[in-house]
Structure 1
Amino acid sequence: MESKYAVRDCFLRTILPRRCSAAAARSFNLKPSQKQCWLVFAFSLAAYLFDNSVLAQTASGVDPSNHPVDQASRRRNASDRVEKLRINRAITSPALGPAPRPGALLEKRAHADRAAQTSRQKTDDFARYDNLREKGLWFNVPGPADTIDQDKGGVRSALAGVGIGYIGWTQNSFANNLLPNAARSTIANQLYMGQNPTFASANFMIVTYDLSQFGISDGQIVLGVEQQYSTWDRPGPDRVGLNTLAYYQTFFDRTVELKLGYLRNQNEFTGTLFGGITGSNMAALFQAGMSTNAAPTPAINLKYNFDPRLYNKVSIQRSISPDGPYVQITENPTGLNWSTPHAGILLVDEAGYKSKAAPGVPDTWLRAGVGFNSSRYASLTDTSRRREDGNNFHYISADRQFWQSDASGTPSRGIYGGFSMMGAPAELNRISRYYELRLYARGAFDSRPSDLIALVASNTSWSKFAVDAALAKGQLAHSDTTAIAGTYTAHLAPGIYAGVGLSYIHNPTSITHTHQTKHALNLLLSTLIFF
């Protein structure tokens, strides 16, 4: 009998392994009493070990450490120990006492069958939630198998029975500059993350309603809320508000995907976040109008799938404020307003090739996109000029799996490399270029098949017009910021992740700096909990 537990990519893009367990059929024959009794003992011991193994597998549920290769190894080791014990007993103990009653082993076998059936039922219960995950995103939201509550109390099952699914998570991060003379400041005057010990928390709840039960192909309604808090609010002030309100369905056998409503397109395009506390800096796209988790805006997204790998995705989105996410959230904290001052329409188009890992087939994702914004931006070449439209951005990203460490079991495990390049006009955007190289490993250790190790190097080029304006005022200014970060994200238990890392940053502030803020060595800590 065989049962499989699969949990797919999550919003951190941390890959959880597919767990396969198989119980080999056991048989025995009762021999005449003149046969050596050690044979009976060996079969009894084997049945006992098998029985307890099945119970342990059932109790562990979706424990990612129960990898199929590891299980096979444990079964071989257990078999070797039983064989060795059988030989030793044959040599040293020709008689071990009376054999157990014939019905005992049959009862244990029946008990093992019931345990395996329970395990299969649990797998089926988890699989039936797949259709209730939010659709249309570039990542797969974790299912109940990778949550701390799973289906305790039967609440998730009861809601799924009427077509309702949910996922919630809390993401908490901490950064602190470890270098001496870090130029600590008051919170109001803080210039970068980590200058003072900086804590940030973002909490989400997403609820979906399945419309396919009414004959709408893959139909789904999504409602999400978000709460965020930070000791340094420069990236965005504290808020409680809408995260998403969306309608989704497909056409022509999933060739066309439609999603509309209040969307956060950072989760629909580019695919740059991964590994918990490590990820690309999407500020280059946010400044040009792309909506975020904390700043959803009305949008219509349409994706055309030429085949299972090749696609093109377009969006007509109400731009966030041309003055940036901070102003957008300040002027529209709940996210329910249709627009904000000076905001226009953002058009985004992304073409890509995406192939998931399979035995002997490496994971590959290539994508490139452009955006055009009609919002009215303040000019950086001449601050006395009136606002002007015509802002735009472009990007290209690629990720490729170089080596599969467990191709036959969990092919997504292995070593990956990737890069990202983003650009926007220096006349209207403070960030004119962003470059990133990344190297990361999923499941590098057999004992930790769900962990992620990442090394990321990036360079941010600032608008030459903004730099020249700062120098003209007699300020210390820099033309770029360079950073390198190494992180380790551990999957501690179903639904629980923790990360630790170090990030060295040359010129951590935006454009202007002081002699004390030229360098930073940030300690990075994070937790991510799904429920």
Structure 2
Amino acid sequence: MIVTYDLSQFGIADGQIVVGAEQQYWTWDRPGPDRVGLNTLAYYQTFFDRTLELKLGYLRNQNEFTGTLFGGITGSNMSALFQAGMSTNAAPTPAINLKLNFDDRLYNKVSVQRSISPDGAYVHITENPTGLNWSTANAGILLVEEAGYKSKAASGVPDTWLRAGVGFNSSRYTNLADPKQQRESGNSFHYIAADRQLWQSDALGSPSRGIYSGFSVMGAPPDLNRISRYYELRLYAKGAFDNRPSDLIALVATNTAWSKVAMDAALAKGQLAHRETTAITGTYTAHLAPGIYASVGLSYIHNPTSITHTPQTEHALNLLVSTLVFF
């Protein structure tokens, strides 16, 4: 549950106070520990006719950078950035974000964020289930910078979004080549992403409807991160059918390249290990009513586990069902 209080009624331009709490419960151990706690606690305001945007508090930077949501619903896998410290919905951390809009298309966005635990989101949530603690063990400061070009769809003008970013983390990470040695700082990540509308099905009435394509590339040092590269190709359609103008169809192919350092360490122990994980996912998201969306999809994954596997876990076929409610 997230609640926003509008401060513009008091003369504060675009001023907002955002407070959110979440509860998550798992019937399976692996995805993460159960928690009840803070989701976000933020203050947002613009300056100089929206040239500058400020957001500070306990933030979820997974929603602030790279464009996790494409087509409004479906999103990219950001595990390559989470491992390098990016805060998540389940692990918000103190941060200050500033966005400079050079015009209505070009922008530059920076963040000074307390990193999540260098041992991962699972450890972070275990140590700080409420999300209220200022920090966790071995966590430092994460600096993130993103530059981008974003043009909204108009009649005869296709929707376009180009962005690239880097992050530098002072947290103390375990070296995957020798986990027993002293922890070291200096982790980082980088990414580029692009989305482009290829065809407008209703240019005059609703120019955002049509077919889109996009890609994402993310990377991090293989000695400190289990994911060294992440690649994604996506093809999606908004309002493909005239009688369903708000529905979304998406086909996404991903490839996760695992750290060679971690893979070599696993092989040295006699474990079965793989260099990469490949997945193809198709989803259909239906707009059922104002603020209510339902999604169904099918995902095939080759090597669904992280680096090591057994003969029984080389392939997976997952049925995906979700519901989103906004009010």
Q: Report whether the alignment pairs 1:289 with 2:85.
A: yes
Q: Structure 1 residue 383 and structure 2 residue 179: aligned?
A: yes
- CA–CA distance in structure 1, aligned partners of residues 71 and 157 of structure 2: 22
Q: For residues 402 and 354 of structure 1, do their structure 2 counterparts lie closer, same or farther at Cα, with a shift above 3 Å needed?
A: same
Please name the residue that 1:209 is paired with. 5
Match of 2:75 among 279, 283, 286: 279
Q: Distance in 1 between matches of 2:17 and 2:321?
A: 35
- Which structure dedicates a bigger proportion of its chain to helix? 1
* TM-score, with structure 1 as normaliser: 0.60
Give 1:233 shift. Answer: 3.8
Q: Give the drift of 1:259.
A: 0.8
- Alignment correspondent of 1:410: 206
Alpha-carbon distance in structure 2 between the residues aligned to 1:508 and 1:384: 28
For residues 146 and 230 of structure 2, what CA distance do their matches in structure 1 show?
18
Q: Is residue 315 from structure 1 mapped to residue 101 from structure 2 by the alignment?
A: no
Q: Is the 8 A contact 1:276 1:489 kept in 2?
A: no
Secondary structure of 1:471 counterpart:
helix
Instruction: Tell me how far 1:277 sits from its aligned partner.
Output: 7.5
Identity of aligned residues (%): 86
1:302 matched to 2:302? The reply is no
Whichever residue aligns with residue 200 of structure 2, its letter is Q
Ranges in structure 1 where 5+ consecutive residues have no aligned partner? 1-204
1:259 equivalent to 2:55? Answer yes
Counterpart of 1:228, as a letter, is: Q
Describe the shift of the 1:276–1:229 C-alpha distance in structure 2 as closer, same or farther (beyond 3 A): farther
Q: Distance in 2 between matches of 1:268 and 1:418?
A: 18
1:352-363 aligned at under 5 Å gives the runs: 352-363=148-159
Q: How big is the shift at 1:207? A: 1.5
Unaligned runs of 5+ in 2: none
C-alpha contact (below 8 Å) 1:277/1:487 kept by paired residues: no
Is the CA contact (8 Å cut-off) linking 1:276 and 1:528 kept in structure 2?
A: no
1:401 and 2:186 aligned: no
Q: Secondary structure of 2:252's match?
A: strand
The amino acid of 1:335's aligned partner reads G
- 1:362: Cα distance to partner? 0.6
1:493 aligns with 2:285: no
Following the alignment from structure 1 to structure 2, what is the Cα–Cα distance between the partners of residues 484 and 277?
A: 17
Q: Aligned residue for 1:327?
A: 123
Structure 1 residues 276 and 362 mapped into 2: Cα distance closer, same or farther (>3 Å)?
closer
- How far apart, in 2, do the equivalents of 1:274 and 1:305 lie? 21
Calculate the TM-score normalised by the size of structure 2.
Answer: 0.97
- Larger-gyration structure (1/2): 1
- Cα distance, 1:263 vs. partner? 0.5
What amino acid sits opposite 1:210 in the alignment?
A: D
The counterpart of 1:451, out of the listed 231, 247, 250, is 247
**Aligned residue identity for 2:111:** S
Would you say 1:527 and 2:326 are equivalent positions? Answer: no
**Matched-pair contact (CA < 8 Å) for 2:71–2:238:** no
Superposed CA offset, 1:428-462 (max 9, x none) = 00000000000000000001111111000000000
1:271-294 residue CA offsets vs partner (Å, 9 max, x unmatched): 123468743110100000000111
Which residue number corresponds to residue 232 of structure 2? Answer: 436
Deviations 1:128-178 (A, max 9, x none): xxxxxxxxxxxxxxxxxxxxxxxxxxxxxxxxxxxxxxxxxxxxxxxxxxx
Alignment of 1:156-305 (within 5 A): 205-274=1-70, 278-305=74-101
Aligned amino acid, residue 171 of structure 2: S
Query: Aligned with 2:25: secondary structure?
Result: strand
The equivalent of 2:136 in structure 1 is 340
Aligned residues: 327
Distance 2:43 2:293 in 1: 30
Preserved contact between residue 277 and residue 499 of structure 1 (Cα < 8 Å)? no
How far apart are the structure 2 equivalents of 1:295 and 1:275? 25
1:370 to 163, 166, 174: 166
Question: What is the CA deviation profile of residues 372-422 of structure 1, one whole-angstrom value per residue up to 9, with x for unaligned ones?
Answer: 000000001112210000000000000000000000001100000000000
Q: Which structure carries more strand by proportion? A: 2
**Distance in structure 1 (CA, Å) of the matches to 2:206 and 2:33:** 41
SS in 2 for 1:230: coil
The amino acid that maps onto 1:430 is R
Q: Secondary structure at the match of 1:470?
A: helix
User: Which shifted more, 498-507 or 475-484?
Assistant: 498-507
Q: Structure 2: which amino acid aligns with 1:406?
A: D
Q: Aligned partners of 1:268, 1:470: CA distance in 2, in Å?
A: 35
Offset at residue 210 of structure 1 (A): 2.0
Q: Which amino acid aligns with 1:213?
A: Q
Gap change, CA 1:525 and 1:276, over 3 Å in 2: farther
Over 3 Å counting, the alpha-carbon distance change for 1:278 and 1:216 in structure 2 is closer
Larger relative contact order, structure 1 or 2 (CA cutoff 8 Å, min sep 6): 1
Residue correspondence of structure 1 range 113-128 to structure 2 within 5 A: none
Deviation at 1:316, TM superposition (A): 0.2
